[in-house]
Amino acid sequence: MAIIRVENVTKGFEKELILRGINFELQRGETVTILGGSGSGKTTFLKVLAGLLSFDSGSYEKAGVKIAYISQKPVLFSHMTVLENLVFPLKCQKVKRKEREAIGRVFLEKSELAKWADAYPYELSGGQQQRVSVARALIGNPDLLLMDEPFSSLDVRLGRDMRQWVFAQIEERDIAAVFVTHHYEEAKVFSEQVLLMDHGVLSEASDAAIDAFFGDGLLYNDVYYPIGAWGMADAGVAVRVERQLMLYGQAYWSVILEDGTQKFIIVGDNAIEKGYIAPVRGEKDA
């Protein structure tokens, strides 16, 4: 069942067309990732979906869904404490004070912010403020979560932990989500469908298109292959296998090339310290 449906939506600013005839449909519980360069229209599209921006033409239908939006930068109420900011959606839903505060403290623990419950936003770092924003978006039990690079301001460890927690919440609670990112691993493993926004046009992205977007590939016998087409092999480009790791449910080898570059190769054959990688699917982007 489609919970939102967008048909031929356009949006412009000062005579410049930003969204060009967008068609998009999202099913209940479906997750979609959107890639695109700066100024391509990604944030504008998310704000249209969230109802924060009007559109110029086309149609947008919503099936009575609760929508939560997480922007790149935190937007908190300066006169409210961290706990009050966090539970504000529950207050709007008429949840009693003791109950919503109890729920809020659980979310603060998950976000590693328990000791800041009574602090005000100005007392928090930018990363801490963003964690409050992320937790607040989830606490209201949305049907659709719109995320505009929400983890970009967090340090590596907290960003990884928050990603894993948020993605687990989305899966467990069957939340539909649209996720804008510039993170390679997030794009590859967050959702089954990846779309590419290019000058206001939204289209489906193949693995090769994803790799081309990130500029991540290697030359082999004078042919450029996107990194998604590479795997462990018995011959090819020599690499040092650093370790195996899990990125959101997918196993990868972290391999180091002779020039010191790190690449993530989807696990295939076993290897310990040294090995080779080579194109294994025949895909190329000449």
Check pLDDT > 90 for residue 30: yes
Q: Is residue 269 part of a domain?
A: yes
Q: In this predicted structure, what is the pLDDT of residue 45?
A: 96
Same domain as 230, residue 172 = no
Same domain as 230, residue 159 = no
Same domain as 43, residue 154 = yes
Same domain as 81, residue 16 = yes
**pLDDT band at 56, cuts 50/70/90?**
very high
Mean of pLDDT over the chain: 86
Same domain as 238, residue 201 = no
Same domain as 118, residue 53 = yes
Same domain as 109, residue 10 = yes
The total number of structural domains in the chain stands at 2
Q: In this predicted structure, what is the pLDDT of residue 139?
A: 94
**pLDDT band at 285, cuts 50/70/90?**
very low
- The rounded distance, in Å, linking the Cα atoms of 196 and 263 is 22
Same domain as 238, residue 193 = no
67 within 8 A of 144, measured Cβ to Cβ: yes
Amino acid at 8: N
Range of the domain at 273: 217-279
Same domain as 258, residue 127 = no
Q: Is residue 250 part of a domain?
A: yes
Give the lowest-confidence range in 108-112, 255-259, 262-266: 262-266
* Token pair of 48 as six digits: 């249209």
Q: Is 58 in a helix, a strand, or coil? A: strand
How do residues 110-125 score in pLDDT, each as one tens digit? 888 999 999 999 999 8
Q: Is residue 253 part of a domain?
A: yes
Helix (H) or strand (E) holding 83: helix 82-86
Check pLDDT > 60 for residue 215: yes
Question: What mean pLDDT do residues 148-175 have?
Answer: 85
Same domain as 253, residue 201 = no
Non-local (6+) Cβ contacts of 106 within 8 A are none
**pLDDT band at 244, cuts 50/70/90?**
confident
Same domain as 224, residue 104 = no
Question: What mean pLDDT do residues 65-84 have?
Answer: 92
Check pLDDT > 80 for residue 15: yes
